[in-house]
Amino acid sequence: MITKSFEEISVGDIAVTDPRVVTEDYVRSFADLTWDRHPLHLDPDYAQQTRFGRQIAHGALMLSTLLGLVELDPRYLQCFYGLDQVRFHRPTYLGDSVHAVSEVLSVRPRSDGETAIVTSKGSLVNQDGDLVFSGEFSFLVGETHSLDLEVGAR
């Protein structure tokens, strides 16, 4: 979603990503990383006895998945600025496939003239077309000369 300078981003720009399957390994890795080992996510016998009837992915994992799916080019994206209106509309089950949809809501240039706050609505939609997660994400985005930065893995 943030793939160009703030001068080139327009309200209403939409990006749709390829899907990602939410696997048991993906959920377990997130649980290990965050220490969130609630049995609803990890224990099929426990999860079967809950209102969900089977294991579900962590809500925070779905938020992180959305951020991982959308394209955020480090030549322009300077930092994650804020998060509002977070909603978990329905559970994401192991084996579900989700894709992200992002729409730019506002571009607010800052007084420095070199950056803007770009706010977009991000959503995750499952394989059945059901909305599972949504939120408004704000990013600090640079101008065209930000391209001069070297991008590489360390």
Instruction: List phi, psi (to 5°) of 151.
Output: -115, 125
In the prediction, which pLDDT does 154 show? 47
- What pLDDT was estimated at residue 1? 76
Q: pLDDT tens digit string along 126-152?
A: 999 999 999 999 999 988 655 555 555
> With contact defined as beta carbons under 8 Å apart, do 136 and 80 qualify?
no
Q: Residue 25 in 3-state DSSP?
A: helix
Weakly modelled stretches of the chain, pLDDT under 70: 144-154
> Which residue in this structure is represented by tokens 């160009």?
4
With b meaning 16 or more CB within 10 Å and e meaning fewer, what string describes 131-147?
ebbbbebbbbbbbeebe
Phi/psi for 83 (5° steps) reads: -145, 130
Nearest to 1 by CA among 14, 20, 10, 18: 14
DSSP secondary structure letters along 67-132: HHHS-B-TTTEEEEEEEEEEEE-S--BTT-EEEEEEEEEEEEE-TTSSEEEEEEEEEEEETTS-EE
- Class of the 6-147 domain? alpha beta
Tokens representing 146 are 């930000």
Q: How many CA atoms lie within 13 A of 27 on its CB side?
A: 22
Structure tokens at 62: 């779905």
